[in-house]
């Protein structure tokens, strides 16, 4: 098997109120709630996972809901600033009506790189985009009572990073991850990998005078890229370590195995495996229904459950 980065694996962001976050992504956007667990580094905080039916890599948006009253993040350089989702062609009118119905802040549909899109903010201020991709997207959507296949979100289209200078980050994408520059519009540079058909795009926006962003409520915490297995994961560890960048040992995240490093522009990158997947501790039918704890916290279940907010 070739040692390749297979596009985006997941994206993790920070939210405030847990139930509000759950309601927005599962009800308004119609994503499947696939896992309710805790932050492995801070078990007093939930870790929510939203995606398609099985939690396929390239569809998974995760959140640390830190609770009401947390400091608001500030968009700026050195961070991921926009999350793009792929939706079926002709579905933007449906989504504009739905955003109106739920009083979501959005901009009128526009176009970039030949694709129509609508941008909006989630309840915590995280910027998202729904994009009618010009690349065919045959991924199977998760349906709800109100959102059917012809309109439903497919999974990630792209992630946007805002940087003072794009060259060092672009070097990681091209020389290490195997991405190529495929388009440019003013100060937005579009990179993509041919290793996968979808969730394959990273946009770099260069703003030399932009102040450094602050990651808190409504911000992306890190961006995870996908590899097939542990052997390929460790291959990339060697490549990144050889560049003199600090990178973690392999970490077991229960549903995938991970490495973390901060790319030269300041964004926290993760590389994550497909294995073992989200059905390792509950059946496909029951994904997201119960609080799942990693083995190291199971003995503290009663204490942890008392601390966490109840989700209806």
In a domain, 85, yes or no: yes
Report the distance separating Cα 249 and Cα 271, nearest Å: 11
Mean confidence (pLDDT) of the chain: 96
- Strands 188-192 and 220-227, how do they pair? unpaired
Task: Note the helical H segments in 143-274.
Answer: 167-171, 230-242
Considering its fold, how many domains does the chain have in total? Answer: 1
pLDDT score of 197 more than 80: yes
pLDDT score of 82 more than 60: yes
In a domain, 279, yes or no: yes
In a domain, 2, yes or no: no
In a domain, 214, yes or no: yes
List the domain range (segments joined by +) for residue 16: 8-307
Task: Note the pLDDT of residue 25.
Answer: 98
Task: Note the helical H segments in 110-152.
Answer: none
Task: Note the pLDDT of residue 274.
Answer: 97
What mean pLDDT do residues 250-261 have? 97
Per-residue confidence at 1, pLDDT binned at 50, 70, 90? low
DSSP state at residue 290: S
SS (H, E, C) 114-151: CEEEEEEECCCCCEEEEEECCCCCCCCCCCCCCCCCCC
Report the distance separating Cα 256 and Cα 85, nearest Å: 22
Task: Note the pLDDT of residue 206.
Answer: 98
Half-sphere exposure (Cβ direction) of 19: Cα atoms closer than 13 Å: 5
Q: Residue 180 pairs with which residues in a beta bridge?
A: 192
pLDDT score of 67 more than 90: no
In a domain, 1, yes or no: no
pLDDT tens figures, 205-245 = 999 999 999 999 999 999 999 999 999 999 999 999 999 99
In a domain, 152, yes or no: yes
Per-residue confidence at 2, pLDDT binned at 50, 70, 90? confident
- Strands 79-87 and 32-39, how do they pair? unpaired
Read off the tokens for 76.
């700026």
pLDDT score of 312 more than 80: no
What mean pLDDT do residues 175-200 have? 97
In a domain, 312, yes or no: no
In a domain, 3, yes or no: no
Task: Note the pLDDT of residue 243.
Answer: 96
* Model confidence, pTM: 0.96
pLDDT tens figures, 12-64 = 999 999 999 999 999 999 999 999 999 998 898 999 999 999 999 999 999 99
DSSP state at residue 255: S
What mean pLDDT do residues 136-153 have? 96
CATH, residue 205: 3.10.180.10
Report the distance separating Cα 92 and Cα 86, nearest Å: 11
- Strands 115-121 and 60-65, how do they pair? unpaired
């Amino acid at each position: 098997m070739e040692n390749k980065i297979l596009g985006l694996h997941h994206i993790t962001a920070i939210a405030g109120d847990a139930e509000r976050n759950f309601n927005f992504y599962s009800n308004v956007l119609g994503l499947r709630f696939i896992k309710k667990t805790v932050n492995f580094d801070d078990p007093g905080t939930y870790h929510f996972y939203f995606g398609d039916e099985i939690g396929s890599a390239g569809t998974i948006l995760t959140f640390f809901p830190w609770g009401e009253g947390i400091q608001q993040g500030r968009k700026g350089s050195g961070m991921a600033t926009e999350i793009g989702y792929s939706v079926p062609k002709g579905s933007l009118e449906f989504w504009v009506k739905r955003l109106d119905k739920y009083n979501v802040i959005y901009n009128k549909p526009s176009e970039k790189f030949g694709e129509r899109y609508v941008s909006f903010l989630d309840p915590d201020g995280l910027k998202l985009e729904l994009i009618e991709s010009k690349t065919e997207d045959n991924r199977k959507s998760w349906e709800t009572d109100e959102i059917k296949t012809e309109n439903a979100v497919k999974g990630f289209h792209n992630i946007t990073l805002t940087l003072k200078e794009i060259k060092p980050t672009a070097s990681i994408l091209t020389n290490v991850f195997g991405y190529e520059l495929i388009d440019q519009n003013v100060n937005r540079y579009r990179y993509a990998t041919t290793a996968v058909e979808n969730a394959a795009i990273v946009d770099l926006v260069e703003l030399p005078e932009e102040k450094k962003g602050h990651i808190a409520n409504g911000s992306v915490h890190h961006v995870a890229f996908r590899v097939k297995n542990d052997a390929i994961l460790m291959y990339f560890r060697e490549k990144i370590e050889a560049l003199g960048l600090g990178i973690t040992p392999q970490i077991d995240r229960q549903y995938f195995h991970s490495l973390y490093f901060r790319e030269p522009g300041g964004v926290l990158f993760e590389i994550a495996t497909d294995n073992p997947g989200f059905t390792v501790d509950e059946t496909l039918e029951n994904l997201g229904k119960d609080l799942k704890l990693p083995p190291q916290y199971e003995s503290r279940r009663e204490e942890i459950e008392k601390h966490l907010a109840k989700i209806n």
